[in-house]
Amino acid sequence: MRTQKIDHIGIAVKSAEERIKLYRDLLGLDVYYSEELPERGLKVYFVKIGESRFELLEEISENSEIHSFLEKRGEGFHHIALKVENIEEYINKAKELGIKPLSEQPQKGAHGTKVVFLHPKTTGGLLIELVEGGEL
Ligand code: ZN
Q: Phi and psi dihedrals of 79, rounded to 5?
A: -155, 165
pLDDT of 71: 94
Q: According to the model, what pLDDT value does residue 110 have? A: 86
Closest CA to 54 of 18, 87, 22, 91: 22
Low-confidence stretches of the chain (pLDDT beneath 70)? 136
- Amino acid 136: pLDDT: 66
Distance from Cα 107 to the centre of ligand 1, integer Å: 11
pLDDT score of 62: 86
Give which of 121, 111, 105 is closest to 7, Cα–Cα: 111
Cα 26 to ligand 1 centre (Å): 23
| Secondary-structure class of domain 8-132 per CATH | alpha beta
Distance 122 CA to ligand 1 centre (A): 18
CA of 98 to the centre of ligand 1 (A): 22
Contacts 24+ apart (CB under 8 A), 101-109: 106/132, 107/40, 108/37, 108/39, 108/40, 109/37, 109/134
Sorted by where each begins, the domain ranges of the chain are 8-132
